[in-house]
Amino acid sequence: MKTFSTILFPTDFSENSEYAFDHALTLARQFNARLVVMHVINEPVDLRGFYVPHVSFEKLEEEIVAAAEKMMGKFCHTKLKDFANATSCIVSGIPYDEILKKAAEVEASLIVMGTHGRRGIDHFLFGSTAERVVRNATCPVMTVRPPEA
């Protein structure tokens, strides 16, 4: 059986991601692998040409980054408290693109990510980050759908 040395886990901090995280952590423990937890701040639409009262674009970006850092800190504190072989990072960009870049950078041997399971028009309109990662990754990708409610 192939072993995994570095597992990349991209999260958007949703319930679906948290469910997928349990699988990523279980595999990291089983294979004694390094676990890299990442969050991608989706490139915001450039609002510089629009008037938004009392809010500067730079301030908005700072607040988004601060919120992401707070969420990552809370996530790692609660989920990784007894797992030492883990690192985390926050990057900005197009999620699937940044996930693929990080996978190459850390030489991931597996990517584990949650999926929203969108279908029909939602899938057509919003696409799927997971689908794009699966299609373009150079390592195996495990997608995890949450249980049906």
At 99-118, the pLDDT tens digits run 999 999 999 999 999 987 55
Instruction: Please state which architecture CATH assigns to domain 6-144.
Output: 3-Layer(aba) Sandwich (3.40)
CB neighbours of 9 closer than 8 A, spacing ≥ 6?
A: 20, 21, 24, 35, 36, 37, 38, 111, 112, 113
Q: What angle do CA 29, 100, 111 make, to 5 degrees?
A: 20
- Residue 85 DSSP symbol: S
pLDDT, residue 44, reads 59
pLDDT, residue 116, reads 72
Task: Name the residue ranges covered by the structural domains of the chain.
Answer: 6-144
- Is the distance from CB of 45 to CB of 71 less than 8 angstroms? no
Percentage of residues in the chain having pLDDT higher than 90: 63
Please list, residue by residue across 6-35, b when 16 or more beta carbons sit within 10 angstroms of its beta carbon and e when fewer do: bbbbbbbeeebbbebbebbbebbeebebbb
d(CA 136, CA 58): 32
Task: Supply φ then ψ for residue 141, to 5 degrees.
Answer: -130, 130
Q: Looking at the predicted structure, is the pLDDT value of residue 88 above 50?
A: yes
State mean pLDDT over 49-63.
69
